[in-house]
Structure 1
Amino acid sequence: MKITIFGKGNMGQAIGHNFELAGNTVTYVGSNDDIFSLGDLVIMAVPYPALADLADQYGDQLAGKVVVDITNPLNFETWDELVVPADSSAAQELQKRLPNSKVLKAFNTTFAATLQSGQVGGQQQTTVLVAGDDDDAKATFKEALKGSPLAVLDAGKLKRARELEATGFLQMTLAASEQIGWTGGFGVIK
């Protein structure tokens, strides 16, 4: 499968690494890169404020695509709140901007180090929680990661993205306050 990742930072590279291990072709797009075509699966590995501009700029090209939002929309000035409406999420706001795309929420409850190693705290398999309203899009996402060291669990409809973002926010604040390491985080035990 052809996958496009907007963002060449730690998260984009760690996510791409897993898709490549699973046998996919990954193209990375930076802010100054020209884009000629997008893959069927598009990962938004960018800071939350960049989502609106990308949606506006590439909305037509993203129509019909599975678009994965990985952002945690927290207030980076205060580290004290999420900046989306209380009854919404970054992913739901992105879906409103991209009504002809299939938006999923994933990767926001994992750190780059745990994605790169495939383990949380060096002990437990990294689990990627994915939320979205389109079951076929979630199946495509899961299939694209088959063969990587990651486990993928369906977290429900896109409205569950709010809880995923709150979980990601909590994990980030714990790491920023040095209560957990950036190689740690929350794990899922089946």
Structure 2
Amino acid sequence: MSGISIIGLGNMAGALAGRALAGGNAVEIIGRDPAKAKELAAALGGATAGTTGTAPAGDIVILAVPYASAAAVVSEYGDALAGKVIIDITNTFNTDATGLVIPEGTSGAQEIAKAVPASAHVVKAFNTVFGHVLAQGRPLDVFIAGDDAEAKATASAFIKSLGLRPLDVGGLEMARWLEGVGPLLMGLARNGAGTFDIALGVDLPG
């Protein structure tokens, strides 16, 4: 299994940490509020609390922070992220979830990739899954995008350990379209589905 460091203390961080622990992974929780990080780690049982700004223990670092602060967070860690697989789970939609806040021709994941060391590789994943649905333990599809094959293989193995199915959509330029799924899901939940207890998946033949 893998060593996972999750930067963030929100619902998605907790849901990912819970499933990661259940899958036999070592989990480190990192947050700007040390007391809350220790509280979440204790509540999960088996997780440890890390220290903001020091080198994350995990080979996989999950960015579970708002997109607006994501680039600043990875810049703060600097060379401490060298050689890591960075899983970006951020969403880049606007306040009413009708569009994206990033300009045409790029994605949040690509902008984050500019701020990490050259030896670190960003993989977009999990932003198409609601945190409360992830926490339910259901088998779900997780769409991933990234430019480094080895990093995507590492992320895929981690996703499988959570009882989920990774589906590769291509290079990191595809992250923009994964980020566009956020407003799609929100619109579907508010309208046609009538519930936020939903998830997108692919029906493969055979």
For normalisation by structure 2, the TM-score amounts to 0.82
User: Quick check: 1:64 aligned with 2:109?
Assistant: no
Count of residue pairs the alignment pairs up? 184
In structure 1, how many angstroms separate the alpha carbons of the residues matched to 2:71 and 2:6? 16
- 8 A Cα contact 1:118 1:150, kept in partner: no
Report sequence identity in percent: 42
Q: Residues 12-161 of structure 1: matches in 2 within 5 Å? A: 12-33=13-34, 34-35=51-52, 36-38=54-56, 39-76=58-95, 78-100=96-118, 101-119=120-138, 125-161=139-175
Q: TM-score, normalised by structure 1?
A: 0.89
Structure 1 runs, 4 residues or longer, greater than 6 Å off:
none
Question: Distance in 1 between the 2:158 and 2:98 partners?
Answer: 35
SS in 2 for 1:129: strand
Distance 1:67 1:168 in 2: 20
Question: Within 2, Cα distance between the matches of 1:5 and 1:82?
Answer: 24
What is the SS of the residue equivalent to 1:67?
strand
8 Å contact from structure 1 (residues 4, 42) kept in 2: yes
Residue 179 of structure 1, CA deviation? 4.3
Structure 1 unpaired stretches of 5+? 120-124
Check if 1:185 corresponds to 2:199: yes
Distance in 2 between residues matched to 1:57 and 1:79, nearest whole Å: 28
Whole-Å separation in 2 of the counterparts to 1:20 and 1:6: 16
1:135-188 Cα offsets, whole Å, 9 max, x none, are: 101111111233322111111111110110001221123335684422213222
On the 8 A contact 2:133/2:197 being kept in 1, the answer is yes
Task: Give unpaired runs (5+ residues) of structure 2.
Answer: 35-50
Q: Secondary structure at the match of 2:128?
A: coil
Aligned to 1:131, the other structure's residue is in SS state: strand
